[in-house]
A and B are shown apart, each in its own frame.
Chain A
Amino acid sequence: MADNLTAPSFNNSYDIAIIGAGPAGMSAAITATKAGARVVVLDDKPRSGGQIYRNVDASPLANSAVLGEDYLKGKQITAAFKRSAAEHICGVNVWHVGNNGEVLFSLEGETQRLTARQIIVATGAMERPFPIPGWHLPGVMSAGSAQVMLKSDGLVSDGAVFAGTGPLLYLIVAQYLRLGVKVKALVDTTPKTNYVRSMSEIAGALSASAMLIKGLGLMNEIRKSGTQVYRFADNLQVMGSDTAAGVSFCVSGNSHEIVSDHVFLHQGVIPNLNMTRALGVQHHWCEQQLCWKPTTNSWGQSSQSFVSVAGDSSGIVGADSAAAMGRICALGQLVSLGLMSEQQAVTEAAEDQRFMARQQRFRRFIDCLYRPIDQHRKPTDENTVVCRCEERTVKDLKQGFAQGGRDPNQLKSQTRCGMGPCQGRMCGHTVSELLADWRNEPVADVGYYRLRTPMRLVTLQELSRFTDVAPAVTPSIIHSTKSSSSGKGSSLEEKPQ
């Protein structure tokens, strides 16, 4: 046992380690600690809330109401999280989660280590890459970044162009306008065909009519403000050679140019996959959301039974469903830990599961309406940068493909695409989709990069200094089960769907 590297060491171990303190992670922690589990939550930001409720308790804005009620309601969940018995370690980068339940993270130049019997990955979403000509130039940022800077530091940019598609894009434009920040133009790349196609899913949207009305309200707010709005735009490009000078695009075949030194792009969000990929759990391609997702069962349990995935890191579900999923994952793990009967977990999960089913119908409508167009996901222009870290263009990738780079890993070794510090976060989906087109095969057959520890850049100093982190010594429950596999109920054994 002593020499076995993979043997779990449950002395001084947490029951559950949760990675991410957004709605999913916080809700999981609240549910799990209520049932007596020893829980630690690790997050890379200084305060809990995730991206959606970022700085909700410490807003730099005099009137944070301009950010909307969907933001402010995050205060309830952060308050409940703070009241819970969960330990919260913030401002740390988790860079390794081992299949022995070991979690390694960096804190002020040192590596900290803890062990947990169960892991909940709740690392949220990231914005979908927007690989168009010039997207790598200084002055081009994601629309999500505009919102992050507003929420965390009260920063705004006057006279910027916002371009792309999706609810978040309209939300940040509306937030800017409420604050009196001038927006040069909104270039909406949602194609007409999406409006037609999404009508087949309208029943699902009507079941969540409050959200639909909110969405329409944002568009109304933007139009009424007099902001220039271009709809049905395609062929979007960033102008400029060394820095952004504006955007060019076409509407019904007519070309337009808008000059601005700040361009914010957005075409939806995708799961933040690096942790689940590095953990080696099974993933599948989701055609509805055009992204890879970890494969889970109805309890959020992945193909590695001690790892569950909650919230947007499991597939884009939105903040409310993320919270519901966090609770469901926690209940599933409580059963695995022997801290709750399966029957009780099923009962407690029922309402959240019904809620999620309703939300999924709405999500189908949203995914259909805001499906980003092919030309903005799969660049054809040879000089468009795909891998920002290593500056690899479509041309470089085509060359690598011709030389035998048929799957993402082969292409990576041929071209260095995906080998930089972001570890493929900004090019992985583009590469999967481009290769699928070039091979004329489904994306599912092409696959994704094989990712490994460390999930972040780690310095030699960090690796050489180790500190162990153990649960605070007030366990309210004496743990009788030594193995996480003993208390497992039959429904948790169900194969990932």
Chain B
Amino acid sequence: MFRSLNDKQSQRSLVNLTINGMLVTAPQGQTVWAAMALAGETTTRLSPVTFKARSAYCAMGVCFECMVEINGMPNQQACLFEVKEGMAVRSQKITEQTSLLTSSEITPSDAISMLAENVGGHHG
């Protein structure tokens, strides 16, 4: 389990957020992942194929293992976001079975066609 060295926490102002419904207080500037780790809520998401609990691996934005739902928005990297007052963080349960229904993500080819529309509009 992770613990905070707590050195300068008193110097930072605190914010309130919820992690899987649990009320948590965290110092301003702390990453969402760090707040989760300290709260013992280390399951960030379920793996899409075998539905097993997963947790952050790299903590620097590379591995995408720490994707969580922040304020209802799925696929947010907990290690790249900082806590904010009133933030609601949830472990993500999107799997292969549910992704078609809930994911707001798009494929690269979707993106390219949308980009062409948008970019064309602005340049034209």
* A interface, CB within 8 angstroms of B: 2-5, 7, 9, 44-46, 51, 58-63, 93, 96, 98, 102, 104, 109, 111, 113, 126-127, 136, 138-142, 144-145, 148-149, 152-158, 179, 242-243, 261, 272, 388-391, 420-422, 425-426, 452-454, 457-461, 463, 466, 468
Given A242-B53, A272-B62, A391-B48, A149 contacting B2 (CB threshold 8 A): yes
| Further contacts, 16 of them, CB under 8 A, given A9-B123, A155-B2 | A3-B124, A59-B8, A61-B5, A62-B5, A126-B58, A136-B47, A142-B57, A145-B60, A154-B6, A154-B9, A155-B37, A421-B105, A426-B62, A453-B108, A460-B106, A466-B122
Interface presence of B29 (CB below 8 A): yes
Per-residue contact bits, chain B 26-50, to A (CB 8 Å; 1 contact, 0 not): 0101110110011000110001111
Instruction: Determine whether the beta carbon of B7 is less than 8 Å from that of A62.
Output: yes
Given A153-B34, A453-B115, A145 and B57 contact (CB-CB distance below 8 Å): yes
Assess the A457–B75 pair: CB atoms within 8 A.
yes
Which residues on the A side are within 8 Å of B34 (C-beta)?
A: 149, 152-153, 155
Quick one: given A5-B119, A60-B8, A466-B122, are A452 and B108 in contact (CB under 8 Å)? yes
Secondary structure of the A contact surface, majority rule = loop
Complex Cα spacing A289 to B42, Å = 33
Q: Within 8 Å CB of A113, what residues of B?
A: 122
Expressed in whole angstroms, the minimum distance between the Cβ of B96 and any Cβ of chain A is 9
Contacts of B60 in A (CB 8 A): 51, 126, 144-145, 148
How many CB-defined contacts (below 8 Å) exist between A and B?
169
Establish whether residues B114 and A389, one from each chain, have CB atoms under 8 Å apart when the complex forms.
no
How far is B122's CA from A189's CA once the two chains are assembled, in angstroms?
54
Specify which chain A residues have a CB less than 8 angstroms from the CB of B49 in the assembled complex: 390-391
Contact between chains at B31 and A391 (CB < 8 Å) = no
Question: Which residues in B have their C-beta under 8 angstroms from that of A46?
Answer: 29, 82
Q: B116 to chain A: which residues have CB within 8 Å? A: 5
Q: What residues of chain A lie closer than 8 Å to B6, measured between beta carbons?
A: 154
A179 touches B5 (CB 8 A): yes
Within 8 Å CB of B42, what residues of A? 138
* A148 partner, pick from B7, B59, B67, beta carbons under 8 A: B59
User: Which chain B residues in 1-21 approach chain A with CB under 8 Å?
Assistant: 1-9, 12
Give the interface of B toward A (CB within 8 A).
Answer: 1-9, 12, 27, 29-31, 33-34, 37-38, 42-43, 47-50, 52-65, 67, 73, 75, 79-80, 82, 104-106, 108, 111-112, 114-116, 118-120, 122-124
Bound CA–CA A329/B100 (angstroms)? 44
User: Please, which residues of chain A bring their CB within 8 A of the CB of B3?
Assistant: 155-158
Does the CB pair A152–B57 fall under 8 Å? no
Would B108 and A459 count as touching, CB distance under 8 A? no
- List, in ascending order, chain B residues with CB within 8 A of A127's CB: 58, 62
| Closest chain A CB from B119 CB (angstroms) | 6
Contact (Cβ within 8 A) B59 A145: yes
Q: Is the CB of B123 within 8 A of A463?
A: no
- With A149-B59, A242-B53, A391-B47 in contact, is A155–B112 under 8 Å at CB? no
CA distance A159 to B60 in the complex (A): 22
A44 touching B61, Cβ below 8 Å: yes
Chain A residues with CB under 8 Å of B48's CB are 389-391, 420
Contact A463 B114 (CB under 8 A): yes
A60 touches B63 (CB 8 A): no
Residues of A within 8 A of B114 (CB): 463
18 A-B residue pairings within 8 Å (CB atoms): A5-B116, A5-B123, A7-B123, A44-B61, A45-B80, A58-B29, A60-B12, A60-B27, A62-B7, A93-B80, A111-B118, A138-B43, A142-B59, A145-B59, A148-B60, A152-B34, A242-B52, A452-B112
In the complex, are the beta carbons of B54 and A60 less than 8 A apart? no
- In the bound complex, residues from chain A placing their C-beta under 8 Å from that of B123 are 2-5, 7, 9
Contacts of B31 in A (CB 8 A): 152-153
* Distance between A126 CB and nearest chain B CB, rounded to angstroms: 5
The CA-CA distance from A164 to B8 in the complex, in Å, is 32
Task: Identify the closest chain B residue to A93 (Cβ).
Answer: B80
Contact B118 A420 (CB under 8 A): no
Tell whether A389 pairs with B64 under 8 Å between CB atoms, given A96-B115, A153-B31, A466-B122: yes
Q: How far is the CB of A416 from chain B (nearest CB, A)?
A: 9
**Contact of A422 with B63 in the complex, beta carbons under 8 Å:** yes
Contact A141 B4 (CB under 8 A): no
Whole-angstrom distance from the CB of A276 to the nearest CB of chain B?
15
The residue in chain B whose Cβ has the minimal distance to the Cβ of A391 is B49
A421 touches B58 (CB 8 A): no
Contact B120–A5 (Cβ < 8 Å): yes
| Residues from chain B with Cβ under 8 Å of A457 in the complex | 64, 75, 105
Q: Complex Cα distance A370/B43, Å? A: 33
- Quick check: A154 and B4 within 8 Å, CB to CB? yes
Given A453-B108, A458-B111, A463-B114; A421-B64 close (CB under 8 Å) = yes
How far, in whole Å, are A98 and B116 apart by their CA atoms in the complex?
11
Note all chain A residues with C-beta closer than 8 A to B57.
136, 140-142, 145, 388, 426
